[in-house]
Structure 1
Amino acid sequence: MIQVAVCGPAQCTAAEEAAAREVGALLARSGAVVLCGGYGGVMAAAAEGAAGVGGLVIGILSGADRSGASPHLTAAVATGMGQARNSVLVGSADAVIAVGGSWGTLSEVAMAMRRGVNPVVGLGGWQISDARGEAVPGLVVADSPAAAVRLALAGQG
């Protein structure tokens, strides 16, 4: 079963929340397991979207217990690792979709690219370029939730 991590800020805009909810639903309808950080914002919206259509949603929590976790998770893994849990999250994923951007999201994108997760899809938020201003290979930019999911699932099956 394909596992796709949906990453993004806990404090997000209404547009990012709506996009994450749609991404979660589309992934679940495609049969993918949705992985997320398990708390609020983009994470909760992706979990809500996936759970709303009967999908499987796993939260990889930074805390030592499940307090504060989204009620839309199918299961929660309490790591007690703080932000180091980002490594567990992306390391468990076949693909990553980053919705919006925060420093935590950037760390997840960087770890996923470093680990060779393919693809890493950005929907809004971070756009990474080299010193010449050219796009860094590996981060694919999507312009809609449907495009992000299509890109994430391409070649996974």
Structure 2
Amino acid sequence: MRVSVVGGGTITAAQERTAVTVGKTLAANGHTVVCGGLGGTMEAVCRGAKSADGETIGILPTDRRADANEYVDTAIATGLGHARNALVPMNGDAVIALAGSAGTLSEIGFARVYDRPVVGIDTHDIPGVDAVDTPEAAVEALEAAVC
């Protein structure tokens, strides 16, 4: 399945480790990572996926595919700015939400509008987001919900 991973563009070292592990775990289980294609969580999850020979898709806010981080296989330029946040969860079968701020919250909101299952690790505590403690638990929960 395709799993959209959403989270902050600026992250701590601990958040980076979590995002890398999410990417590795998704790829190891045969899933494609969809993200916003830039830095922070997006770069870390793609790096993790690529380290496990996974596939990555970046849906960029800019109009230049070249703006994608180096770990994105398929860059989709939108030119939409923050409005592209609607497209990231739309293009996944499920969503993993990591630590982030308003942009992450908007992506969670769109995921719920599109009726995508959402699991979260250290993210917004809101209805519709099933909190888990580890990347492995996140992937397991989404597989149970979708597969």
Specify the TM-score bucket, using the shorter chain as the normaliser: over 0.9
1:99-151 Cα deviation digits (max 9, x unpaired)? 1121100000011012111x1011102111xxxxxxx2x21001111111111
1: CA distance, partners of 2:8 / 2:145: 27
Q: How far did 1:155 drift?
A: 3.3
Larger Rg: 1
- Who is 1:145 aligned against? 135
1:117-128 matched pairs, under 5 angstroms? 117=116, 119-128=117-126
- Who is 1:64 aligned against? 63
1:105-116 matched pairs, under 5 angstroms? 105-116=104-115
Q: How far did 1:85 drift?
A: 0.8
TM-score, scaled relative to structure 2: 0.96
In the alignment, does 2:77 pair up with 1:78?
yes
- Who is 1:132 aligned against? none
Q: How far did 1:156 drift?
A: 2.1
Tell me the SS of whatever aligns to 1:16: helix
- Post-superposition, which runs of at least 4 consecutive aligned residues in structure 1 deviate over 6 A? none
1:6-41 Cα deviation digits (max 9, x unpaired)? 100010111111101000010011111100000100
Q: How far did 1:97 drift?
A: 0.3
Q: How far did 1:58 drift?
A: 0.3
1: CA distance, partners of 2:73 / 2:144: 25
Higher percent of residues as helix: 2
2: CA distance, partners of 1:69 / 1:153: 28
1:63-100 Cα deviation digits (max 9, x unpaired)? 00024321001110001011111111111111000111
Instruction: Give the length in aligned residue pairs.
Output: 147
2: CA distance, partners of 1:92 / 1:154: 19
Q: How far did 1:60 drift?
A: 0.4
2: CA distance, partners of 1:155 / 1:112: 14
- The AA in structure 1 aligned to 2:40 is G
- The AA in structure 1 aligned to 2:67 is G
Unaligned runs of 5+ residues in structure 2 are none
The Cα RMSD (Å) is 1.0
TM-score, scaled relative to structure 1: 0.90
Q: How far did 1:154 drift?
A: 1.4
